[in-house]
Amino acid sequence: MPARLQISHPATTEEVPAIGVKIEGLTKDFGPLHVLKNVSFEVTPGEIFVLMGPSGSGKSVLLRHIVGLEQPTSGRVTIEGKDAALEETRQHVRLGLVFQAGALFNSLSVYDNLALYLREHRIGTEAEIGEKVRHALQILSLENTAEKFPSDLSGGMKKRVAIARSLVMRPQLLLYDEPTSELDPIMAATISEIIASLKEQYHVTSIVVSHDRELALNIADRIGILMGGELIFVGPPAELRKSNDPRIVDFLNPKFDLKNPRFKKLET
Amino acid sequence: MKQFRAICEEVGGTVQLLIRSIGYFATLPLQFGRFVEQCYLVGYTTLPIVSILSFFIGSVLALQAGYSMQDFGAKEFIGSLVGLSMARELGPMMVSILLAGRVGSAIAAELASMKVYQEIDALETMNIPPARMLVMPRLAAVIVMMPVLTIIANIVGWFGGALVASRVKFIDLDSDTYFAALRRFVKFKDVMDGLVKAEVFGFVVVLVCCSIGLKTRGGPREIGASVTRAVVTSLILILVLDYLLTQMLLWISPSP
């Protein structure tokens, strides 16, 4: 299990201000498919914002707009007032994205995966890079995996390495795409704790895309619910629990009706 | 119309990639390790197959020439025929085709799989341009290694021809006569023209394979489709460019 975060390392104590994200009237169409419909919300610096919604509701597409991997059909995503779609924005703000499948570089060892960003941007000497990498590995209890390759790791380990890789970048904005999917409940809780601890220790702004109810209700400052490309709720977890919207109630507490299953309703 | 638009987008994307990659050539000293690794992959690992093929192509050329020329007593010109064919056409063409099949397919497969498994997206979010880290070192490596491979292919092909010419009974041409004809007819310009062609073919093959690999969308099945498309496109471009370049080189400085 990952150790409690102890941020005392000189290489990681540098203060980096957290940043905010603003999404204004974001619409995205893929041909005739309307994936996002006029979505607007704001994430304040240092906040953990969890974006929930059923599969195919457009959560990951929204996340890709924030990191500038997709161009909006209309609307705007700004990070600290800068257009997220522009390459210059990524040069001015440090943002990390933890991909759903990890997106680790398969040809590189875990150590080299973590060191890549620092080496490419010439941040420190090789000794300093080594210190930062080892520290990030230590935070996530991955010291023994440094020489391994991604193909040798379990699903949970890959997720943790992906988080560690983002961590060495000292991001101001950290985005997670389904960080607990395909994990057992204990590992999912561990990853949720890591996300919350990172916010506490690094004051990083976190946007988490997930349909993990436990993660959202336990670590989020605010939760957004995206359904069919529309944002139907934004508010703190306590408010979400009280919601009477049948779509939200059904999403959070789905009833099992074996005599009249949902897929039969969909067929008709 | 839709297909024409797709082709235009493909060409436009490749030109953009070329421009971006050229812009990163200044970072070559900082990526020397990657450059050396690519030189090893492009040059050293391709060398055995290039040597084997060029030896037999030179041999077959000598054999065919010997068979055709024996009737009218022109056997002593076999050296010039093999020499010129290898230097001006077969050397650069064969090395480029091998490059497309061996290196180009590997590049397209690697980059396509990186794209499908979101490694390229990860690089972009880390503000590491794929054109700088993945494309530029490969282009630099092919620029350096293509002339080396082509010169080796030419020499091995010439010696293959000499061996056949001297050993096959119905030809029975001694090596001195073979190489005298080769030296007499193969000029420096012929070798240089071949090297220019090889350089252009190699550069285009690597650029096209990188571009197709990086544009892959979908799942694992599309990786295979991208590799096929990259190799087929490279082969067509080699043949089209071969004609155009030959025409252009003959026009720039026609042989005496």
Query: Which residues of chain B have a CB within 8 Å of the CB of A68?
Result: 124-125
Q: For position A8, what pLDDT does the model report?
A: 36
Predicted structure pTM score: 0.86
From the CB of residue A95, how many other CB atoms can be counted at a distance below 10 Å?
A: 26
Report whether pLDDT(A4) > 80: no
Q: In terms of pLDDT, which residue wins out, B108 or A198?
A: B108
Contact flag A99-B124 (C-beta cutoff 8 Å): no
Please list the residues that pair with A33 across neighbouring strands: A30
Residue-wise pLDDT for B136-172, tens only, equals: 999 999 999 999 999 999 999 999 999 999 999 888 8
Helix (H, G, I), strand (E, B) or coil at A168: coil
Report whether pLDDT(B100) > 90: yes
Report whether pLDDT(B254) > 80: no
Output the six-digit token pair for A57: 């509701």
What mean pLDDT is reported for chain A? 87
What percent of chain A lies above the pLDDT cut of 90? 47
Whether the CB-CB separation of B38 and B141 falls below 8 Å is answered with yes
Residue B19's contacts (CB-CB under 8 Å, 6 or more residues apart) are none
- Rg (chain B; Cα; Å): 21
Whether the CB-CB separation of A232 and A41 falls below 8 Å is answered with no
Bridge-based pairing state of the strands A33-43 and A21-30:
antiparallel
- Is the reported ipTM for this assembly greater than 0.95? no
Measured in degrees and rounded to the nearest 5, phi and psi for residue A26 equal -75, 125
Alpha-carbon distance B209 to B105, whole Å? 7
Contact flag A116-B128 (C-beta cutoff 8 Å): yes
B contact set with A (CB within 8 A)? 30, 113-114, 117-119, 121-122, 124-128, 133
Sign of CA dihedral B133, B134, B137, B140: negative
Q: For position B252, what pLDDT does the model report?
A: 85
Q: In terms of pLDDT, which residue wins out, A145 or A3?
A: A145
Whether the CB-CB separation of A162 and A98 falls below 8 Å is answered with yes
Whether the CB-CB separation of B131 and B21 falls below 8 Å is answered with yes
Q: For position B76, what pLDDT does the model report?
A: 87
Which of A87, A88, A97, A173 should be substituted to probe chain B, the one whose Cβ sees the most B Cβ atoms within 10 Å?
A: A97
- Nearest-neighbour CA in chain A from B38: distance (Å): 14
Minimal Cα distance from A120: which residue of B?
B128
Whether the CB-CB separation of A156 and A183 falls below 8 Å is answered with yes
Q: For position A14, what pLDDT does the model report?
A: 55
Which range, A45-49, A53-57, A167-171, A245-249, has the best average confidence (pLDDT)? A45-49
Residue B178: C-alpha distances to residues A4, A162, B56, B68, B201 (Å): 79, 64, 17, 16, 30
**Domains parsed from chain A with CATH numbers:** 16-109+154-267 (3.40.50.300)
Measured in degrees and rounded to the nearest 5, phi and psi for residue B130 equal -55, -30
Write down how long chain B is: 256
Contact flag B118-A95 (C-beta cutoff 8 Å): no
pLDDT band at A151 (very low <50, low <70, confident <90, very high): very high
Minimal Cα distance from A93: which residue of B?
B127
Q: For position B255, what pLDDT does the model report?
A: 59
Output the six-digit token pair for B189: 């310009």
Q: Across residues A160-168, what is the average pLDDT?
A: 91
Query: Which residues of chain A have a CB within 8 Å of the CB of B133?
Result: 120
How many Cα neighbours within 13 Å face the side chain of B216? 33
Residue-wise pLDDT for A63-76, tens only, equals: 999 998 899 999 99
Minimal Cα distance from A105: which residue of B?
B119
Contact flag B125-A120 (C-beta cutoff 8 Å): no
Q: For position B217, what pLDDT does the model report?
A: 92
Least confident of A40-44, A264-268, B53-57, B240-244: A264-268
State whether residue A97 sits within 8 Å of chain B by CB: yes
Q: For position A256, what pLDDT does the model report?
A: 79
